[in-house]
């Protein structure tokens, strides 16, 4: 399993992560990314990595 580190100060709320992996990422009422799962199961790992790469401000980091 992998974990996601979020730099909330960098997040600009574009939502690309949510589009790529809606099971994993959402946006809160302030338009800041929130991680919906405390741990990412293996079957979502590839999409989570794609979502991380999609972030234009590099606010997401994967930690295994
Ligand atoms: S793609 Fe990056 S900037 Fe956009 S909502 Fe996700 S974490 Fe925030």
Task: Check which CATH number belongs to the domain holding 13 and give it.
Answer: 3.30.70.20
Which domain, by its residues, includes 30?
3-63
| pLDDT exceeds cutoff 80 at 54 | yes
Q: What is the pLDDT of residue 56?
A: 97
- Any ligand 1 atom below 6 A from CB of 4: no
Angle at 25 between CA 1 and CA 62, to 5 degrees: 40
The number of folded domains in the chain is 1
Q: Is the CB of 60 under 6 A from ligand 1?
A: yes
* Per-residue model confidence (pLDDT) at position 61: 96
- pLDDT exceeds 90 at position 1: no
Choose which residue among 6, 34, 59 to substitute to test ligand 1 binding: the one with the highest number of ligand atoms within 8 A of its C-beta: 59
Give the chain's mean pLDDT.
Answer: 95
Decide whether any atom of ligand 1 lies within 6 Å of the 15 Cβ. Answer: yes
User: Is the four-CA dihedral 27, 12, 53, 2 of positive or negative sign?
Assistant: negative
Predicted local distance difference test score (pLDDT) of residue 55 = 98
Q: What is the pLDDT of residue 38?
A: 86
Q: Which parts of the chain are beta strand (E)?
A: 3-6, 25-27, 33-35, 60-63
Q: What's the confidence (pLDDT) of residue 64? A: 77
Residue 48: count other Cβ atoms within 10 Å of its Cβ: 23
């Amino acid at each position: 399993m992998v974990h996601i580190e979020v730099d909330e100060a960098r997040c600009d709320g574009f939502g690309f992560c949510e589009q790529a992996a809606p099971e994993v990422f959402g946006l809160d009422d302030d338009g800041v990314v929130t991680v919906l799962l405390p741990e990412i199961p293996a079957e979502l790992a590839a999409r989570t990595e794609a979502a991380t790469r999609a972030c234009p401000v590099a606010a997401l980091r994967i930690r295994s």
